[in-house]
C-alpha cells in the first residue's frame, strides 16, 4: 500500500522522538522531511526526461536507494540503542 508523505512523516516522527519535541523542533523536522520527499520527487521527474537514459535513471535510483538504506540502518541503530 502506498502511503502519503503525511503518513510517512507521522510514522517517522513517532519513531524518532523519544519524548515530545518542542513545537519549533517538530516544525523544523517536518520541513526537513518534506524537503527530502520533494528532492526524491524532483529526481524521479528528472530521470523521466528524454535526455536521461533508462540505464542512467536506474543507476541513479539504485544509488539513492543505497544511500537511504545506509541512513536508515544508522537511524535504527540509534533507535535500538535508546530502547
Distance CA 52, CA 65 (A): 18
Task: Give residue 1's pLDDT.
Answer: 77
| Number of domains making up the chain | 1
Mean of the pLDDT values across residues 21-25? 96
pLDDT at 8: 95
Q: Is the pLDDT of residue 79 over 90?
A: no
Domain that holds residue 57: 5-82
Q: What is the pLDDT of residues 25-46, one digit of tens each?
A: 999 999 999 999 999 999 999 9
pLDDT of 74 > 80? The answer is yes
Average pLDDT, the chain: 92
Amino acid at each position: 500500500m502506498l502511503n502519503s508523505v503525511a503518513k510517512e512523516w507521522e510514522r517517522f516522527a513517532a519513531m524518532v522522538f523519544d519524548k515530545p519535541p518542542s513545537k519549533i523542533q517538530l516544525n523544523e523536522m517536518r520541513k526537513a522531511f518534506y524537503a527530502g520527499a520533494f528532492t526524491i520527487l524532483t529526481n524521479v521527474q528528472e530521470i523521466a526526461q528524454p535526455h536521461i537514459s533508462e540505464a542512467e535513471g536506474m543507476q541513479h535510483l539504485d544509488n539513492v536507494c543505497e544511500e537511504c538504506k545506509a541512513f536508515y540502518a544508522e537511524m535504527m541503530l540509534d533507535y535500538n540503542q535508546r530502547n
